[in-house]
Chains A and B, each alone.
Chain A
Amino acid sequence: MFFATSIAILVTMALALARAVMGPSVYDRVLAVNMFGTKTALLLSVVAYLYGRPDFLDLALTYALINFVGVLAVLEFFQNRTVSPDLNKNDDVR
Chain B
Amino acid sequence: MIVLFAIFLLTLLVISAIAIVRVKNLFVAVMLMGIFSLLMASTFFILDAADVALTEAAIGAGVSTIILLSALALTGEHERFATANRWLPLLVVTITTTTIIYATFDKPRLGDPEAPVHQHVAPWYLQNTPELIDIPNVVTAVLASFRGYDTLGEVFVVLTACIGVLFVLGARPEDAPKPAKQQGLRHHLIPKVVGRLLVPFIVLFGLYVQFHGDFGPGGGFQAGAIIATGIMLYAVLEGETAALKAVPSSLLMAMVAGGAILYGGVGVAAILLGGNFLDYSVLSSNPVDGQHLGILLVELGVGITVCGALLSIFHAFAAREHK
> A residues within 8 Å of B by Cβ?
3, 6, 10, 13-14, 16-17, 20-21, 23, 26, 29-30, 32-33, 36-37, 40, 43-44, 47, 50-51, 55-56, 58-59, 61-63, 65-70, 72-77, 79-81, 83, 87, 90-94
Contact = CB atoms under 8 A, between A and B. Distances in A.
A91 B24 contact: yes
Contacts of A16: 35
B196 to A, nearest CB: 11
What does DSSP make chain A's interface, helix, strand, loop or mixed?
Answer: helix
Contact of A66 (B48, B53, B57, B195): B57
B167 interface: no
A86 to B, nearest CB: 11
Nearest to B22: A93
Contacts of B27: 26, 77, 83, 87
B166 interface: no
Given A37-B38, A69-B62, A93-B23, 11 more contacts: A29-B32, A32-B31, A37-B61, A44-B42, A59-B45, A70-B66, A72-B185, A79-B185, A83-B27, A90-B78, A93-B24
Interface in B90-127: none
Contacts of B266: none
Nearest to A44: B45
Given A55-B216, A65-B202, A21 B15 contact: yes
B248 interface: no
A66 B61 contact: yes
Interface string B41-80: 1100110101001100110011001100100110001100
What bracket does the count of chain B residues touching chain A fall in? 35 or more
What does DSSP make chain B's interface, helix, strand, loop or mixed?
Answer: helix
B236 A73 contact: yes
B1 A3 contact: yes
Nearest to A80: B73
6 contacts: A10-B5, A17-B15, A21-B23, A29-B32, A47-B45, A72-B233
Contacts of A92: 24
Nearest to A81: B73
Interface of B: 1-2, 5, 8-9, 12, 15-16, 19, 22-25, 27-28, 31-32, 34-35, 38-39, 41-42, 45-46, 48, 50, 53-54, 57-58, 61-62, 65-66, 69, 72-73, 77-78, 180, 182, 184-185, 188, 191, 194-195, 198, 201-202, 205, 209, 212, 216-218, 222, 226, 229, 232-233, 236-237
Contacts of A75: 185, 188, 191
Contacts of B78: 90
A87 B35 contact: no
